[in-house]
Structure 1
């Protein structure tokens, strides 16, 4: 399955001033989505993240990352709606790059046969974190701290690569697979209508670089499709879309997606959650 190893976030906390040299670990967010369209390998691969950069920023100290385990059912597979949205995003992004139909690509990935001898360690699922968001440069106090965090980051990224490159049926339960496919069916059926709406509500900078914003546009399509076809509360859909942007996109994408979806709800969705009829405004 196509996916990118996700960058880890270590939130800085306040600390006392000191004369110690400090170092920055830069986590480039675009790396998170770079491998989304890659075909699933026969075995898990190590992280493809770019090397962490060390520089000399102002003083600050990192706080420990919040522990958050993915939701798994008794079969040991992901069972949360968030996992379904994440899977739908991966398929949508890959379909855009390949010029393929999203539903057909989903079905092809689901029915793909495993390579002989492939073994997936389900224990990786317990360490996978759907809430691992990218952030700005991280400052640490010593080379030892930098090496420790770099090592942990590489382990976490390798674990996520193992999970996200595994055959979907080994990672997601039937509920997640069904919901993800339903979202993709809705994306396909509403694509043309939503393209016109998206073109009106996204900033000009995104229009000027559409190829660089495929991932962000896919998030918008999935969110709009869920609002108009699944009846999910608008606030839930917007929050989930923003979290996907935080996880896989960079810069101000989460803020822009939040604003675009709020505009979509205000101007194009009625209280029942369906698209309003396209009527010219006075």
Structure 2
């Protein structure tokens, strides 16, 4: 995949946050595991997620242009076989593969197929009950301040539970978690990303903020979301509003700070450029 944006240099982003009376460690997005990636792979997220717990939900976040005030309920998650069946799950899985392929310098389609065909470790069993507890629509909120040891302990307990569920789901063998239709959709997304990678690198370089270009190793996840969304719109021709809303939700779930708003603006610029292409070709 020529044009992969970077060698990875972990550089946690700095955020001005109110000092809690009792400090609470932040959760990490996309935990790595030897079941998903090589044992020497770096952690899936280069920085800590703003998502701290179910106590810090998205009602405190400023609205994002183009996002409805009252979003629709989450799509059905589990089919009759007990596997994820919503497009949101496919996009999450595709994002995890794109991110890992950037870190490892591999073709995302080959990496996906490698994960699909990987042998399970001896004695490994996947707890399918975790699928019912996993929430694709859990978004981050502002940093949490607690007033007592009891509140801190309760918050940490929720964080640990959510992290364990997320790690179990995102690192399990994909065939145990996603149904065949979702795995097929995921592969189509990854093929589109691979085929459009070089041309989209050039476009992304024009539309992202200068600070993202100055520090691409700190924005791998955000840039991966842009590649995923742009490729789905350009190749699979999914409706623009659906793809942009999904990309913003992925950014809210896994990225920091202003990423959802910036990704929203970048994708709208990309859509406007796509719509102008036919008229430009006629001139």
Same fold flag (TM > 0.5): yes
Name 2:239's counterpart in structure 1: 233
Paired residue for 1:78?
A: 84
Partner deviation per Cα, 1:162-217 (whole Å, 9 max, x = no partner): 11111000000001100000000000111111111100000000000011111111
- Report what 2:156 is aligned to: 150
Deviation at 1:142, TM superposition (A): 2.4
Indicate how the Cα distance of structure 1 residues 233 and 68 shifts in structure 2: closer, same or farther if over 3 A, else same.
Answer: closer
Change (3 A) 1:113 1:76: same
- Tell me the distance in 2 between the aligned counterparts of 1:176 and 1:136: 32
Instruction: Give the C-alpha shift of residue 116 in structure 1.
Output: 1.5
The alpha carbon displacement at 1:25 in A equals: 5.6
C-alpha distance in 1 between matches for 2:34 and 2:211: 27
Task: Return the alpha-carbon distance in structure 2 between the equivalents of residues 63 and 102 of structure 1.
Answer: 33
> What residue number does 1:249 align with?
255
Q: Is the 8 A contact 1:183 1:222 kept in 2?
A: yes
TM-score (norm 2): 0.76
Q: Given the alignment of the two structures, is residue 117 of structure 1 paired with residue 113 of structure 2, yes or no? A: no
In structure 2, the partner of 1:32 is 29
The question of whether the paired residues in 2 share the 8 Å contact of 1:70 and 1:127 is answered with no
Deviation string, structure 1 residues 28-62 (Cα, Å, up to 9, x no partner): 47x214x45865289xxxx99999xxxxxxxxxx6
Q: Say which SS state the counterpart of residue 212 (structure 2) adopts.
A: helix
Shift of 1:149: 1.6
Q: Give the number of the structure whose alpha-carbon radius of gyration is greater.
A: 1
Output the TM-score relative to the length of structure 1. 0.76
Cα distance between partner residues in 1 of 2:81 and 2:149: 42
CA distance, structure 1, for counterparts of residue 100 and residue 57 of structure 2: 34
Q: Contact 2:22 / 2:148 at 8 angstroms: preserved in 1?
A: no
Q: Does the 8 Å CA contact 1:85/1:180 hold for their aligned counterparts?
A: yes
For 1:249 and 1:219, the matched residues in 2 are separated by 10
Gaps of 5+ in 1: 1-21, 52-61, 271-275
**Residues 64, 95 of structure 1: CA spacing in aligned structure 2 closer, same or farther, 3 A cutoff?**
closer
RMSD: 3.2
1:161 is the counterpart of 2:133: no
Distance 1:86 1:180 in 2: 9
Unaligned stretches of 5+ in structure 2?
Answer: 1-19, 49-54, 60-72
Aligned residues: 240
Q: Which has the higher contact order (CA 8 A, sep 6+)?
A: 2
**Does the alignment pair 1:199 with 2:205?**
yes
Q: Tell me how far apart the structure 2 counterparts of residues 83 and 27 of structure 1 sit (CA, whole Å).
A: 27
Task: Give the Cα–Cα distance (whole angstroms) in 2 for the partners of residues 85 and 69 of structure 1.
Answer: 13
